[in-house]
Chain A
Amino acid sequence: MNILGISCFYHDSAACLLQDGKVIAAASEERFNREKYSQVFPINAINFCLQARDLTVYDVDYIGFYEKPFLKFSRVILSHLRSYPRSLNNFLGTTPSWLENRLIMPLVFKKELGFEGKTLFVKHHLSHVASSFLVSPFEEAAILTADGVGEWATMTYGIGKGSDIKVLKEIHYPDSLGLLYTAVTTYLGFKALSGEGKVMGLAGYGEPKFIDRFREMVMVKPDGSFRVDSKFFGFNEGSRMYSKRFVKVFGKERKPEDKIEERHQDIAASLQKFIEDTLVLIARNLHKETKLDNLCLAGGLFLNCVANSKILEETPFKEVFIQPATGDSGGALGVACYIYHSILKNQRSHVMTDAYLGPYFTGEQIKKALINHNLDFKELSDPDLAKYIARVLSQDKIIGWFQGRMEFGPRALGNRSILANPCNPNMKDLLNSRVKKREPFRPYAPVVLEEKAKEFFKLEHPSPFMLLSPRVREDKKNLIPSVTHIDGTARVQTVNKDTNLKLWQLIKEFENITTIPVIINTSFNLRGEPIVCTPEDAISSFKRSQIDYLVLENYVVEKRT
Chain B
Amino acid sequence: MTAHVRLAPVPADASLRRLDVRGLLRDAEVRPGRVVLSIAAGTMALGSAVGLAAVAAWLIARAAGMPSPADLALAAVTVRFFGIARGLFRYLERLVSHETALSGVVALRTRTYEGVASSGASRVLGLRRGDIVARMGGDIDAMGDAVVRSLIPLGVAGTVSVISIAITAAYLPVAGAALAACLVAAATLSGAMTWRSARTAAQAGTAAAARVSTATLEAIDGAAEHRVWGTTQDAAEELRAADRDAQDAAELAARPAAWAAAALQAAQGAALVLALWLAVSAARHAGLPPTDTAVVALLPLAAFEAVNAVPAAIQQAFRSAAAARRVQTMVGDGESTPHLSGDASNDGARAAASTTPAPASASLRLEGLSAAWPGMLPTLPVTATIAPGGALGIVGRSGIGKTTLLLTIAGALPPSRGQALLGDTPVGAHTIGRAIAMTPEDAHLFGTTVLENLRVADGTVTRDQARDALEAVQLGAWLDSLPDGLDTPLGSGGNTVSGGERRRLLLARALLSPAPIHLIDEPAEHLDADGVDALRSLVAAMRAQGRSVVIVTHDLGILDVVDRVVTLDEH
A, B from the same assembly: no
